[in-house]
Chain A
Amino acid sequence: METLAALGAGFALALDPVNLLWALGGVTIGTAIGVLPGLGPALTIALLLPITYKVGATAAFILFAGIYYGAMFGGSTTSILLNTPGESATIVTALEGHRMARQGRAAAALATAAVGSFVAGTIGIVLLTFLAPVVVELALAFGPAEYFALMVLAFVTVSAVLGRSLAKGLASLFFGIGLGLIGVDLQTGQPRFTFGLPELLDGINVVVVAVGLFAVGETLYLALHGAGRTATVLPVGGRLGMTGEDWRRSWKPWLRGAAIGFPFGALPAGGAEIPTFLSYAVEKRLCRKPEEFGHGAIEGVAGPEAANNASTAGVLVPMLTLGLPTSATAAIMLSAFQSYGLNPGPLLFQNQPELVWTLIASLYIGNVMLLVLNLPLIGIWVRILQIPPPWLYGGILVFATIGAYGISHSVVDLVLLYAIGAVGYAMRRFDYPSAPVIIGLILGPLAEQEMRRALTISQGDPTVFVTQPLAAALLALAALALIVPALFRRR
């Protein structure tokens, strides 16, 4: 009851016309930044931090939260239309979404992404409002051993995204793991595979790999195989919005995606990418027409898009209740708290209830705004496909340059982007799937670091993975996921 009263007070403040304008500004900037490949909410908010010198805390946080949510909405658009993900959390969306676009069902894909994001985002915020303390307890139970077990489970389930050939999918996965090894080893401070280049010491940015494989690789492939002139001018078919069947096939994936995404966001090493992989795997397994996966199954868009939006709300749980940043964006938002001399810790709810509840209320409002903003935009977005290919792909490469070079001003990154683009071309040409590269690049380092942390803490005792109940349960689940389908196939 107390919660509801506080939330009501928050709404009263958030509905103030000036604050509504800040929310609108935030979701608009967020959507734009989400659409552009390589520019994420973390960077945008970091660049906008000087605004904390000019406006009050409430307005600034409403703006930042709008950007955070908007980016997740916008990221799916280019994934679906151009096969060039705007965010790393929308890479999986490209798998089915772009296939749908090629069949002229871009509008349906965009609609299920937008509505799914709204539904899951709202569920996430409701869970944030009422369950935050419980979720945070669970998140803290995860130590290195539990994380490692979770990564093993994730590795096992990603087989669903490996594509038609297991061997080629695994080759892509291991290539990604290999890329993830580059950089200074966190545990011992030693450089690995950096070839004396200081630019490589921090490792290879996921954004550079994603933009290279997808945007540059796609452009090279289309230019070299003539498809650039024929297949890319996709018919803008389909109905604006979705058919009855689309709705029937989408609503369960939305709910499941929300259920997967929210807890992952709340985990201090969860992130928004892994739940999208898991959601895709789950939908593929549960779908009545699994053969449609890889050819434009709407479940493969609805689930992951719901998952990445719900994880955004999840990230806010440890951030607001404990002051723990579990994503780059959250870390930067916390530094904004410090700009106002506020201590973002467990006492934030107690000391700044007005600010926190207004922020939460503005999330509800921003989510509605995003839906209202994005549904009519679908009609405009699909017109991107009518841009003549020479200009469309010229433009995509210019945007890719911004993503890779804009911040670092490093020509090394730019050359790396093109080299990875060339690899992406070869992979497409010989039918190697690209998504597993990104999965390997994200999961590989996490799995390695967590395993080594767990073994350092246990002083080298490997039983730590089976004596901790939560870790053991996750590993058992991973074993089941591996064995059960194999048994079915035996038949």
Chain B
Amino acid sequence: MRPAAVGEFTIALGLILTAGAIALETTTIPVAAVYAKIGPRAFPYAAALGLGLIGLVLALKAWRAAPAVVEPEPAPNPLAGRALGWLGVGLAANAVLILPLGFVLASTALFAAVARAFGSVRPLRDAAVGFALALALHQGFLRLLGLDLGSGVFARL
């Protein structure tokens, strides 16, 4: 297989596995004794079948090293690993911090980490911009629409 087709093949395999998982999970859907003529399982089976068949076609194409579309290889980014790391940090920080610390601080962390992933080297300035943006949004939504985006530690203020 050409190197490019390995990725294609993996994705196709993933589709087949997903289809299998859908089919397997469908067998556990409880069927209620109500009047409805078609139960809750019919459509999921059909979806699994469709997805599985397409996965097979795509896997076959990739195996024959003929990707469905000759896609242009994206420009190699020497810093991709580092960017991925910072993005991961940012998204994880946001998800973990948003309940305890609130929207503003979690978003500040997210903003700074994403900026870093995009090559910025001034984390403090980024954090300040992120904080200002998040604070403005939080206050804007609260004052204009009465929507609390999550106050966290600021709840008592």
Number of B interface residues in the complex (CB < 8 A)? 74
Sampled A-B contacts (8; CB under 8 Å): A174-B54, A188-B40, A192-B26, A394-B129, A429-B74, A430-B8, A431-B71, A456-B35
Interface membership of A68, Cβ < 8 A: no
Query: Which of A192, A393, A398, A411 is close to B95, meaning CB atoms less than 8 Å apart?
Result: A411
A48, B25: Cα distance in complex, Å:
42
**Pair B50/A455 contact, Cβ less than 8 Å:** no
Interface membership of A3, Cβ < 8 A: no
> Would A189 and B32 be within 8 Å (CB), given that A181-B43, A456-B37 are in contact?
yes
**5 nearest A-B pairs in the assembled complex, by CB-CB distance:** A390-B115, A226-B77, A390-B120, A394-B111, A390-B118
A451, B38: Cα distance in complex, Å:
9
**Pair A224/B40 contact, Cβ less than 8 Å:** no
**Pair B94/A414 contact, Cβ less than 8 Å:** yes
**Pair A394/B38 contact, Cβ less than 8 Å:** no
- Chain A's interface size range is 35 or more
Interface membership of B17, Cβ < 8 A: no
A185, B98: Cα distance in complex, Å:
31
A431, B149: Cα distance in complex, Å:
35
Residues in B with CB closer than 8 Å to A391 are 111, 115, 120, 126, 129
**Pair B126/A171 contact, Cβ less than 8 Å:** no
Interface membership of A204, Cβ < 8 A: no
Residues in A with CB closer than 8 Å to B38 are 451-452, 455-456
Interface membership of A448, Cβ < 8 A: yes
- In the complex, the number of residue pairs spanning A and B with C-beta atoms less than 8 Å apart equals 203
Residues in B with CB closer than 8 Å to A248 are none
Query: Which of A164, A174, A228, A460 is close to B51, meaning CB atoms less than 8 Å apart?
Result: A174
Residues in B with CB closer than 8 Å to A50 are 146
Query: Which of A167, A188, A220, A414 is close to B36, meaning CB atoms less than 8 Å apart?
Result: A188
> Would A229 and B69 be within 8 Å (CB), given that A47-B145, A398-B130, A414-B94 are in contact?
no
Task: Give the interface segment out of A255-263, A280-288, A402-410.
Answer: A402-410
> Would A395 and B111 be within 8 Å (CB), given that A50-B146, A175-B51, A224-B77 are in contact?
yes
Apart from A223-B87, A406-B150, list 10 A-B contacts with CB within 8 A.
Answer: A189-B34, A190-B30, A190-B40, A394-B129, A397-B91, A401-B107, A401-B110, A402-B137, A411-B99, A460-B37
Query: Which of B7, B36, B39, B90 has most A Cβ within 10 Å?
Result: B36
Interface membership of A165, Cβ < 8 A: yes
Within 8 A of A (CB), among B70-89: 71, 74-77, 79-80, 83-84, 87
> Would A444 and B47 be within 8 Å (CB), given that A188-B34, A414-B94 are in contact?
yes
**Pair B126/A406 contact, Cβ less than 8 Å:** no
The secondary structure that dominates the A interface is helix
**Pair A167/B37 contact, Cβ less than 8 Å:** no
Within 8 A of B (CB), among A180-195: 181, 185, 187-193
Interface membership of A170, Cβ < 8 A: yes
**Pair A405/B116 contact, Cβ less than 8 Å:** no
Query: Which residue of chain B has its CB nearest to the CB of A457?
Result: B37
**Pair A395/B30 contact, Cβ less than 8 Å:** no
> Would A397 and B114 be within 8 Å (CB), given that A192-B44, A225-B77, A430-B11 are in contact?
yes
Residues in A with CB closer than 8 Å to B119 are 228-229, 389-390
Query: Which of A185, A225, A395, A397 is close to B80, meaning CB atoms less than 8 Å apart?
Result: A225
Give A contacts to B, CB under 8 Å: 29, 44, 47-48, 50, 164-165, 167-168, 170-171, 174-175, 177-178, 181, 185, 187-193, 219-229, 388-391, 393-395, 397-398, 401-402, 405-407, 409, 411, 414-415, 418, 426, 429-432, 444, 448, 451-452, 455-456, 459-460
> Would A187 and B36 be within 8 Å (CB), given that A398-B111, A401-B98, A405-B149 are in contact?
yes
A178, B20: Cα distance in complex, Å:
12
**Pair B84/A224 contact, Cβ less than 8 Å:** yes
**Pair A395/B69 contact, Cβ less than 8 Å:** no
CB distance from B67 to the nearest CB of A (A): 8
Query: Which of B44, B54, B144 is close to A181, meaning CB atoms less than 8 Å apart?
Result: B44
Residues in B with CB closer than 8 Å to A390 are 114-120, 126
Residues in A with CB closer than 8 Å to B37 are 452, 455-456, 459-460
Residues in B with CB closer than 8 Å to A167 are 54, 57-58, 61, 68
Query: Which residue of chain B has its CB nearest to the CB of A163?
Result: B69
A225, B137: Cα distance in complex, Å:
30
A390, B106: Cα distance in complex, Å:
17
A133, B154: Cα distance in complex, Å:
53
Query: Which residue of chain A has its CB nearest to the CB of B25?
Result: A193
CB distance from A24 to the nearest CB of B (A): 15
Residues in A with CB closer than 8 Å to B29 are 185, 190-192
> Would A223 and B117 be within 8 Å (CB), given that A165-B69, A174-B50, A444-B47 are in contact?
yes
Query: Which residue of chain A has its CB nearest to the CB of B30?
Result: A190
Residues in B with CB closer than 8 Å to A221 are 74
CB distance from B120 to the nearest CB of A (A): 4
CB distance from B54 to the nearest CB of A (A): 5
